[in-house]
Copies of this chain bind each other. A is one copy, B any other.
Amino acid sequence: MKDKMLKYQRIAEDIEHYIVHNRLKQGDKLPVLEELRRKYEVSKSTITKALELLEMKGIIYQVRGSGIFVRRHKRKGYINLDENQGFRSGLDEFQLTSEVLKLEVMNPSEEVMTNLSISAEEEVYYVKRLRFIHGQRLCIEESYYKKSVVPFLNEQIVSESIFNYLKEGLKLEIGFSDNFFHIGKLTKTEANLLALRTGDPGMYYESVYHLTNGEAFDYSKLVYNFQEAQFYLQINSLS
């Protein structure tokens, strides 16, 4: 769990726990920087780094001349897109299960080659799953993993959280992802899998995940059930 956590990470985590544990709400004031610095016995810049991390995560916001405040929104039950590597929603997990429809090694199609920037020779794992949230059909998921990065997958792993396996098992570090989506009408096949009707609304979501060194290793296509899926996204002004 704590492979050798950095100071600022540990502090950020501690402050987040403090916020959650004490049930602080939007706008509540945290101790001032200098006070935090004394408490954790680190330099000012380390505290600043920790707070910056929390700010990016949408946990706090800082106001110059004023203080450090808690940032929280009220709505529950939304999938947080900011941290959708395995659908963790802050601290309380969603109850997700999966039915594996297909698992095989194959050569990439044109589409997969483009999105993963690989040649036709390079092999990929293909995983097709039906995912459930609280027992309801949430989405159809088709994923392609570079075999050179993810050398082994089996039914067992794939029926649980793949990203958890990638991080804990393979010690892969995910750096960033590109995500594309649009709305459309379900085909007959899709509708059948989601227990909906042909032509019903669906959200088509594509992701390309990259390691910290920039290498793309996973291309995934999802089709969401319009009745079950609702999303949250926090956006910070960058300046």
Known: A226-B182, A235-B81, A237-B85. A176 touches B71 (CB 8 A): yes
- Cross-chain contact of A201 among B183, B229, B237 (Cβ < 8 A): B183
Q: Name the CB-closest residue of B to A178.
A: B73
Is A184 an interface residue when CB atoms closer than 8 A count as contact? yes
Asked if B214 contacts A53 (CB within 8 A), the reply is no
**Chain B residues with Cβ under 8 A from A210's Cβ?**
61
Is A82 an interface residue when CB atoms closer than 8 A count as contact? yes
User: In the complex the two chains form, what is the Cα distance from A158 to B53 in whole Å?
Assistant: 36
Is A31 an interface residue when CB atoms closer than 8 A count as contact? no
Is A192 an interface residue when CB atoms closer than 8 A count as contact? no
Is A156 an interface residue when CB atoms closer than 8 A count as contact? no
Residue among A114, A208, A231 having the largest count of chain B Cβ atoms under 10 Å: A231
Asked if A183 contacts B75 (CB within 8 A), the reply is no
Is A15 an interface residue when CB atoms closer than 8 A count as contact? no
Asked if B233 contacts A81 (CB within 8 A), the reply is yes
Asked if B214 contacts A176 (CB within 8 A), the reply is no
User: In the complex the two chains form, what is the Cα distance from A74 to B85 in whole Å?
Assistant: 22
Is A66 an interface residue when CB atoms closer than 8 A count as contact? yes
Asked if B180 contacts A230 (CB within 8 A), the reply is yes
**Chain B residues with Cβ under 8 A from A144's Cβ?**
none
**Chain B residues with Cβ under 8 A from A154's Cβ?**
none
Q: A81-B235, A185-B226 are in contact. List 7 more A-B contacts (CB 8 A).
A: A58-B176, A63-B214, A71-B176, A178-B232, A182-B229, A183-B183, A183-B226
Q: Which 10 A-B pairs have the closest CB atoms?
A: A201-B201, A183-B226, A182-B230, A179-B233, A73-B178, A176-B236, A183-B201, A177-B235, A183-B203, A63-B213
